[in-house]
Amino acid sequence: ATHPSTPLLPDDLSDFTGLSTTSYDPDWRFGVEVTPAESRHLDFETGTDGIVPFDLIGVAEVPGVGSLDIWKLGSYGGGLFVPVKDALAGRPGGTYGGGRYLLDTIKGADLGPGAALDSLVLDFNFAYNPSCAYDPAWACPLAQAGNRIAVEIPAGERYSGAH
Protein backbone atom coordinates (compact mmCIF):
# COMPACT_ATOMS: atom_id res chain seq x y z
CA ALA A 1 0.00 0.00 0.00
CA THR A 2 3.01 2.30 0.23
CA HIS A 3 4.14 1.82 -3.38
CA PRO A 4 3.69 4.98 -5.51
CA SER A 5 1.58 3.00 -8.01
CA THR A 6 -0.76 1.45 -5.45
CA PRO A 7 -4.32 1.18 -6.79
CA LEU A 8 -5.67 2.10 -3.35
CA LEU A 9 -7.31 5.49 -3.13
CA PRO A 10 -5.61 8.02 -0.82
CA ASP A 11 -8.60 7.95 1.56
CA ASP A 12 -8.26 4.17 1.90
CA LEU A 13 -4.55 4.10 2.76
CA SER A 14 -4.80 5.12 6.43
CA ASP A 15 -7.21 2.29 7.30
CA PHE A 16 -5.59 -0.34 5.10
CA THR A 17 -4.43 -3.36 7.12
CA GLY A 18 -3.83 -5.82 4.30
CA LEU A 19 -5.61 -7.91 1.73
CA SER A 20 -8.11 -10.58 2.67
CA THR A 21 -6.82 -13.92 1.41
CA THR A 22 -7.54 -17.55 2.16
CA SER A 23 -5.05 -20.05 3.55
CA TYR A 24 -3.12 -21.93 0.89
CA ASP A 25 -4.94 -25.07 -0.27
CA PRO A 26 -2.91 -27.36 -2.56
CA ASP A 27 -6.16 -28.81 -3.95
CA TRP A 28 -6.61 -25.57 -5.90
CA ARG A 29 -3.33 -25.92 -7.84
CA PHE A 30 -3.64 -27.62 -11.23
CA GLY A 31 -1.30 -28.68 -13.99
CA VAL A 32 -3.44 -28.45 -17.13
CA GLU A 33 -2.97 -29.04 -20.82
CA VAL A 34 -3.68 -26.13 -23.13
CA THR A 35 -5.71 -27.19 -26.15
CA PRO A 36 -5.37 -24.89 -29.17
CA ALA A 37 -8.53 -22.85 -29.83
CA GLU A 38 -9.95 -21.10 -32.84
CA SER A 39 -8.21 -17.75 -33.10
CA ARG A 40 -10.03 -14.80 -31.61
CA HIS A 41 -8.84 -11.24 -31.05
CA LEU A 42 -9.90 -8.73 -28.40
CA ASP A 43 -8.80 -5.09 -28.16
CA PHE A 44 -9.17 -3.56 -24.71
CA GLU A 45 -9.20 0.22 -24.37
CA THR A 46 -7.46 1.25 -21.15
CA GLY A 47 -7.87 4.98 -21.49
CA THR A 48 -4.34 5.68 -20.23
CA ASP A 49 -2.16 3.06 -21.92
CA GLY A 50 -4.11 2.98 -25.17
CA ILE A 51 -5.35 -0.30 -26.56
CA VAL A 52 -4.13 -3.61 -25.14
CA PRO A 53 -4.59 -6.42 -27.69
CA PHE A 54 -5.34 -9.98 -26.60
CA ASP A 55 -5.33 -13.13 -28.73
CA LEU A 56 -6.98 -16.36 -27.66
CA ILE A 57 -4.37 -19.11 -27.90
CA GLY A 58 -6.08 -22.02 -26.20
CA VAL A 59 -8.42 -23.49 -23.64
CA ALA A 60 -7.57 -25.31 -20.42
CA GLU A 61 -9.91 -27.84 -18.81
CA VAL A 62 -9.58 -27.54 -15.04
CA PRO A 63 -10.84 -30.64 -13.19
CA GLY A 64 -13.93 -29.90 -11.10
CA VAL A 65 -13.92 -26.27 -12.24
CA GLY A 66 -14.54 -26.08 -15.98
CA SER A 67 -12.78 -24.63 -18.98
CA LEU A 68 -10.86 -21.36 -19.08
CA ASP A 69 -9.70 -19.40 -22.10
CA ILE A 70 -5.95 -18.70 -22.22
CA TRP A 71 -5.09 -15.31 -23.71
CA LYS A 72 -1.81 -13.92 -25.02
CA LEU A 73 -1.10 -10.23 -24.51
CA GLY A 74 -0.06 -8.58 -27.76
CA SER A 75 1.61 -5.65 -26.02
CA TYR A 76 2.29 -4.41 -22.49
CA GLY A 77 5.24 -6.77 -22.11
CA GLY A 78 3.53 -9.81 -23.63
CA GLY A 79 2.87 -13.04 -21.80
CA LEU A 80 -0.23 -14.96 -20.81
CA PHE A 81 -3.40 -13.66 -19.24
CA VAL A 82 -6.09 -15.76 -17.53
CA PRO A 83 -8.90 -13.89 -15.78
CA VAL A 84 -11.58 -15.85 -13.92
CA LYS A 85 -15.03 -14.99 -12.63
CA ASP A 86 -16.47 -17.63 -10.30
CA ALA A 87 -19.82 -18.10 -8.52
CA LEU A 88 -18.58 -16.01 -5.55
CA ALA A 89 -18.12 -12.89 -7.71
CA GLY A 90 -20.07 -9.94 -6.41
CA ARG A 91 -21.36 -11.76 -3.33
CA PRO A 92 -20.75 -10.46 0.22
CA GLY A 93 -17.57 -12.04 1.55
CA GLY A 94 -16.87 -13.36 -1.93
CA THR A 95 -14.74 -12.08 -4.77
CA TYR A 96 -14.69 -8.92 -6.89
CA GLY A 97 -17.80 -8.68 -9.08
CA GLY A 98 -15.82 -8.39 -12.31
CA GLY A 99 -13.66 -11.40 -11.48
CA ARG A 100 -10.03 -11.88 -10.53
CA TYR A 101 -6.76 -12.48 -12.33
CA LEU A 102 -5.55 -16.04 -12.12
CA LEU A 103 -2.46 -15.52 -14.24
CA ASP A 104 -0.90 -12.38 -15.68
CA THR A 105 2.71 -13.17 -16.56
CA ILE A 106 3.59 -9.51 -17.08
CA LYS A 107 3.20 -9.16 -13.30
CA GLY A 108 5.91 -11.80 -12.83
CA ALA A 109 3.80 -14.88 -12.10
CA ASP A 110 5.85 -18.02 -12.62
CA LEU A 111 4.21 -21.00 -11.00
CA GLY A 112 6.61 -23.49 -12.51
CA PRO A 113 6.39 -25.57 -15.65
CA GLY A 114 3.55 -27.91 -16.41
CA ALA A 115 4.16 -31.62 -16.86
CA ALA A 116 4.26 -31.34 -20.66
CA LEU A 117 5.30 -28.75 -23.23
CA ASP A 118 1.72 -27.61 -23.93
CA SER A 119 0.75 -27.40 -20.28
CA LEU A 120 0.37 -24.69 -17.70
CA VAL A 121 0.14 -24.43 -13.92
CA LEU A 122 -3.00 -22.65 -12.73
CA ASP A 123 -3.04 -22.00 -8.99
CA PHE A 124 -6.25 -20.42 -7.72
CA ASN A 125 -4.54 -19.66 -4.39
CA PHE A 126 -2.82 -16.77 -6.20
CA ALA A 127 -5.99 -15.35 -7.82
CA TYR A 128 -6.09 -11.62 -7.10
CA ASN A 129 -8.34 -8.64 -7.66
CA PRO A 130 -7.57 -6.30 -10.55
CA SER A 131 -6.56 -2.71 -9.78
CA CYS A 132 -10.00 -1.41 -10.78
CA ALA A 133 -11.44 -3.22 -7.74
CA TYR A 134 -9.75 -0.56 -5.59
CA ASP A 135 -9.80 2.55 -7.78
CA PRO A 136 -12.38 3.25 -10.51
CA ALA A 137 -9.79 5.32 -12.41
CA TRP A 138 -8.14 2.05 -13.51
CA ALA A 139 -9.50 0.31 -16.61
CA CYS A 140 -9.12 -3.46 -16.28
CA PRO A 141 -9.85 -6.24 -18.73
CA LEU A 142 -12.32 -8.51 -16.96
CA ALA A 143 -13.39 -12.10 -17.48
CA GLN A 144 -14.95 -12.73 -20.88
CA ALA A 145 -17.56 -15.47 -21.40
CA GLY A 146 -14.87 -18.18 -21.73
CA ASN A 147 -13.44 -17.24 -18.34
CA ARG A 148 -16.66 -17.34 -16.32
CA ILE A 149 -17.26 -20.49 -14.33
CA ALA A 150 -20.32 -21.69 -12.40
CA VAL A 151 -18.49 -23.11 -9.37
CA GLU A 152 -17.27 -21.30 -6.27
CA ILE A 153 -13.51 -20.92 -5.96
CA PRO A 154 -12.78 -20.62 -2.21
CA ALA A 155 -9.11 -19.79 -2.77
CA GLY A 156 -7.10 -16.63 -3.35
CA GLU A 157 -7.84 -12.99 -2.62
CA ARG A 158 -11.30 -12.02 -1.35
CA TYR A 159 -13.09 -8.73 -1.80
CA SER A 160 -14.94 -6.79 0.85
CA GLY A 161 -15.43 -3.65 -1.18
CA ALA A 162 -14.08 -1.63 1.76
CA HIS A 163 -10.46 -0.79 1.03
Q: What is the pLDDT of residue 132?
A: 79
Measure the CA–CA gap between 43 and 107, rounded to whole angstroms: 20
Whether the per-residue pLDDT at 55 is higher than 60: the answer is yes
**Is 61 or 105 the better-scoring residue by pLDDT?**
61
Average pLDDT over residues 136-143: 80
Of residues 82, 88, 162, 87, the one with CA closest to residue 126? 82
Q: Which residues of 17-47 are buried (b: 16+ CB within 10 A; e: fewer)?
A: eeeeeeeeeeebbbbbebeeeeeeeeebeee
Average pLDDT over residues 57-82: 91
Q: What is the pLDDT of residue 163?
A: 47
**Is 163 or 125 the better-scoring residue by pLDDT?**
125
Q: What is the pLDDT of residue 108?
A: 59
> What does pTM read for this prediction?
0.81
Measure the CA–CA gap between 18 and 128, rounded to whole angstroms: 13
Measure the CA–CA gap between 21 and 95, rounded to whole angstroms: 10
**Is 4 or 98 the better-scoring residue by pLDDT?**
98
Choose the weakest-confidence range: 84-88, 101-105, 106-110: 106-110
Whether the per-residue pLDDT at 139 is higher than 90: the answer is no
